[in-house]
Amino acid sequence: MATRAHNFFAGPAILPVPVIEAAKEAAYDFAGLGMSILEISHRSKEFDAVVQKAQADALEIMGLSADDYAVLFLGGGASTQFAMVPMNFLRGKAEYVNTGEWATKAIKEAKMLGETIVTASSEDANFNYIPKNIVFSGDADYVHYTSNNTIYGTEFKGTPEVGNVPLVCDMSSDMLSRELDYSKYSLIYAGAQKNLGPAGVTLVVVKKAWVEEKAKGDIPTMLRYKTHVSKESMFNTPPVFPIFVVGKTLEWIKSEGGLGVIQQRNEMKAALLYDIFDAHADFFTATVPNKEDRSLMNVTFRLPSEDLETKFIAEAKALKMFGLKGHRSVGGCRASIYNACPVESVEALARFMEKFMAENK
């Protein structure tokens, strides 16, 4: 295989090499059938086995029971979940925490469907911190938050305390990047293209009892969680190839040693970059000042001038380091170092940063 580039794109993003190799093989000849996985029926026993294993692996990795939780593979991206959650569960009021652009969009969708309260927000400082000591009302239909914010580089390090209120989380950019008590959640959703697989499928993990007892039935069929839970994600033709790749990524997480090992590696990678910022704050400025709020997935930073940032990104690209330009809405630089990003890539970036600083300070 040709030498791999250093991939720091925020999404679609880097995948583990064994997953890419498995996808390449399956795209030509899947399960010895002499047909591509792109060509076979989604009702075939061979593909049914792919879905069932992916669902079982997801639950195993998260420490959840198939008796209590359903794993769904849906289309429409996390953006469709912004509407599906309130369509199904918002009857009285819902509480949201606003920590960035994607949370803002989720709030906008919910407001069209019912009373939506923004209980806490970091908008006052351009979303450069995570709100602390949030006090929820205790009587909402659900509480929603976004665990990791790709644009602003912030991340909840713990799980908000919401009492007995159902907790919903958009984990699109840090799903399965660390150990958590996933049983605290009634619903988790994640667009796959950041930390789980390719664009085209959204992973939803939902508490079955919540769907059975509280989900509405008077909404369009394809937007009902009940539809997809009852048919185990096979009500209509699912995104077959992306599901296969997500399944292989879940297998890879298990083969690496599970979330404990993954988290330790992610913390080490992030420290390689954040330590440079803290040691050389006069040149590399972390956009998230509070260390406890800094994302392990999306490392955001600024240089002394936009001209230097442009030069930094261009010279990095010449060294096959791609995806370091910050989101267009905030500028600056960003290194997305998801699960599949090798330690070697982050080490190479750290060395380049030290060299660039020495030559341009």
Residue range 337-354, pLDDT digits in tens:
999 999 999 999 999 999
Residue 331 confidence class, pLDDT cut points 50, 70, 90: very high
User: What pLDDT score was predicted for residue 348?
Assistant: 98
User: What pLDDT score was predicted for residue 3?
Assistant: 86
* Structure-token match 């997809």, residue found: 228
Residues 6+ apart with CB under 8 A from 81: 74, 170, 189, 202, 204
- Quote the tokens at residue 354: 């030290």
CATH for 258-360 is: 3.90.1150.10
Q: How far apart are CA 298 and CA 336, in angstroms?
A: 4
For the stretch 186-197, pLDDT in tens is: 999 999 999 999
Mean pLDDT, the chain, whole residue set:
97
For the stretch 5-63, pLDDT in tens is: 999 999 999 999 999 999 999 999 999 999 999 999 999 999 999 999 999 999 999 99
User: What pLDDT score was predicted for residue 7?
Assistant: 98
Q: How far apart are CA 312 and CA 354, in angstroms?
A: 11
Question: Which overall architecture, per CATH, does domain 17-256 show?
Answer: 3-Layer(aba) Sandwich (3.40)
Q: What dihedral angle (degrees, nearest 10) is formed by the CA atoms of 38, 40, 45, 51?
A: 20
Query: For residue 155, what are the β-bridge partners?
Result: 148
User: What pLDDT score was predicted for residue 361?
Assistant: 87
Domain boundaries, the chain: 17-256, 258-360
Confidence check: pLDDT of 293 > 90: yes
User: What pLDDT score was predicted for residue 2?
Assistant: 65
User: What is the C-alpha end-to-end distance of the chain, expressed in Å?
Assistant: 38
Cis peptide before 242 (omega within 30 of 0): no
Q: Which residues are catalytic?
A: 102, 170, 194
Mean pLDDT for the stretch of residues 248-259:
98
Q: Is 301 helix (H, G, I), strand (E, B) or coil?
A: strand
Strands (E), 186-284: 187-191, 202-207
